[in-house]
Structure 1
């Protein structure tokens, strides 16, 4: 019996096998864990699955004065856990994942009232071929707002009120002006804007799927 006990593994060997088992387990677990949480880390770092490409919105000459108009824009995405080469080899040409966003467009109003929106006068006589100065004036006066409420992302609606109007979130009562400024309710800030926008020679507006994060929590505006 004593000889059998002497032939058993030592305490050092036992600890060594434990360390080896831990290393082998980590080798199996870490890659799969990184595969799963990698996209989450990218989001925290400010990266996105939405492709960094310009998408057409509409002709700026079609954006009326007064109440805002809305349009849906589809932004192509690269799936976090997908492989574009494999998807192409599958032969499914119809497969084209996108994110559909509704965008609100309007002309800036100093008071936030729709009836005082400042549509550039030259849009009444021309719809394309704008000069660089005219393109700048268009972008300076154009509100390009996300449809998602800054509170919990519910889709906002435009509500006419005695010719003035306001954006209203039907979920929790968030209220914003025509320019997207915070008025009342639980939202911590104004509406999200699309800061990357450009007007091209054909007179059409293009945007990239990116939102500003700089608007502070504002004091309620009187409308």
Structure 2
């Protein structure tokens, strides 16, 4: 396989590609222009990783080059990969619970998570859940595990989504309710929310040090 094919664009295309797909759909999912997506998809056709069909492509999972690239991708699997790869699936999702707290506190509050145990809390639209499972299976991403990095999905027919910069997260009020229900763990975070978003929960958690 040509070395020039081992680039971020091709990796995103191969992560996002479904068994039967179209260049246009892949382009939208990975946020790359149609022209550039077409260029790299055409190169993958030449390598036998994709097979052309009328108005689309078929993924050739038994292609040796495809297997090598997927092996490389599966070995990445750090926390950042688990977060960033979700957008390539083309599903409706948002972060919730502890992840929503982390986002709304601007990364200042992250409780009970470390490298050996890192649950990622997400809501997923019910109609997209099987697709989510397919991607996780193909990429060897863990769901509801007991150790390591893994997703904890909450399946819902419909839910509201807010965007913080480019990140999909549940509305702030829902996150505040979650923190109040779990006040023992999230009282410091609620104080941060008071300061950042000018709310008033009557919480004063900060310790005062006298020297």
Q: Same fold (TM over 0.5)?
A: no
Larger radius of gyration: 1
Higher relative CO (Cα under 8 Å, sequence separation at least 6) belongs to 1
Q: TM-score, normalised by structure 2?
A: 0.21
Give the number of the structure whose residues are more often helix, by fraction. 2
